[in-house]
Amino acid sequence: MNDAQAPTAFRRNSPGLGLALAAFALALLISFLVPAIPTLTACVVLGILFAALPWRDSVRADVKPGLAIAARRLLRIGVVLLGFKLSLVNIAELGWLVLGMIVAIVVVTFFFTWGLGRMLRLPGQQPVLIAAGFSICGASAVGAMAGVTRAKDSDTATPIALVTLCGTLAIALLPALRPLLGLDTAEFGMWVGASVHDVGQVVATAQIAGATALAVAVVVKLTRVAMLAPMVALAGVVAARADRVQAAAASEAGEPAADRDEVKRPAILPLFVVGFLAAVLARTFIPLPDGFLEVAAYGQELVLGMALFGLGASISIGNLVRTGGRALVVALISWAVIALLSYGAVEIARAAGVAALG
């Protein structure tokens, strides 16, 4: 972009980015007034409400470019900054049994949800995006997987709405189930960290049971976040293989090479996921200042909040009601499966007397 184009791009994108920033500020206020509502969840809901209001077409046209920038680029920046929350040392302290169970839960629920979505014929890339959001780390995983699968915004918006819905329900439901299941604070923290989707939703749910539950929940949750890179890489391999099959079929059909080259293959590991891995390694092996980590945490919440507002604003409630029934079924079943598997893992850890839960 040359100097002449820069002001034009700024004028085109600033209304939407300014709106997303204002929405994030409002979401912060809502979260402050009602601590049970995570800021990022509020951002998605505000975006959906914005899309539902009868704005003039000129207003929608003015904010659309900036919201598109927020939904894609800022989401990827947020994924990178998420890596600074994750230290491999803290993960190792959970022990091999807990680590193995967390990895198994992520892998099983990912492929179960993906297969269920395909069986129910969800459109586009929705099966893999819902699988990533529910099994790994909510909206961040949806955004990362969308980058490697070239998913459309319309495919991305529904999984974002569903992880927001189920994660919000978990904030109320899981604490209510705790006394019925007889979980102590640490066990409850493990259950929350292993089954709730976004980090903010994990914090909102676990903090109800106190500091011990919150500490265990965050470490377990961030262990699931660590699965983001390998699962995205695996999806990249599958996508690349599908492209090769498509190209071979087109070649056999006599399609011109120029036409076949129009579809670019996605990177097996997108640059922003490489950045996520670099951030994890930096947090693990470099003594980063506390001030830097605080700024990174605030920055991550800011850019993810703006991105989730942008994605929420792309959701049409009418279309969601008409076409989202099957996706909702997949989401609810996936949510139930991951909650049951996570509870089973807690029981196994309890029987084994895992020190991390004591």
Q: What is the biggest distance separating any 2 CA atoms in the chain, rounded to whole angstroms?
A: 67
Mean pLDDT is lowest, of 56-60, 109-113, 290-294, 324-328, for 56-60
Q: Which residues contact 34 (CB under 8 A, 6 or more apart)?
A: none
Provide the pLDDT for residue 169.
Answer: 86
Provide the pLDDT for residue 263.
Answer: 45
Q: Does 257 score more than 70 pLDDT?
A: no
Q: Tell me the pTM.
A: 0.78
Q: What is the pLDDT of residues 234-254, one digit of tens each?
A: 887 776 666 565 555 555 655
Q: Which residues contact 202 (CB under 8 A, 6 or more apart)?
A: 192, 193, 196, 217, 218, 221
Over the chain, what is the mean pLDDT? 84
Tokens 């099983």, residue located: 108
Q: Does 262 score more than 50 pLDDT?
A: no
Provide the pLDDT for residue 35.
Answer: 85
Cβ proximity of 167 and 196 under 8 Å: yes
Q: Which residue has the higher pLDDT, 149 or 50?
A: 50
Q: Does 58 score more than 80 pLDDT?
A: no
- Percent of residues, the chain, with pLDDT higher than 70: 85
Other residues' Cβ atoms within 10 Å of the Cβ of residue 312: 27
Side-chain-side CA neighbours of 247 within 13 Å: the count stands at: 14
Q: Please compute the mean of the pLDDT values over residues 61-81 and round it to a whole number.
A: 87
* 330, amino acid identity: V
Cβ proximity of 283 and 86 under 8 Å: yes
Distance CA 72, CA 76 (A): 6
Q: Which of 36, 138, 11, 42 is nearest to 82 (CA)?
A: 138
Other residues' Cβ atoms within 10 Å of the Cβ of residue 212: 15
Q: Identify the H or E element spanning 256.
A: none
Distance CA 216, CA 6 (A): 47
Other residues' Cβ atoms within 10 Å of the Cβ of residue 154: 15
Distance CA 32, CA 10 (A): 32
Among 81-95, 181-195, 196-210, 343-357, top mean pLDDT goes to: 181-195
Q: Which of 333, 266, 346 is nearest to 127 (CA)?
A: 333
Q: What is the pLDDT of residues 171-204, one digit of tens each?
A: 889 999 999 999 999 999 999 999 998 888 888 8
Provide the pLDDT for residue 281.
Answer: 92
Angle, vertex CA 353, rays to CA 349 and CA 356, nearest 5: 75
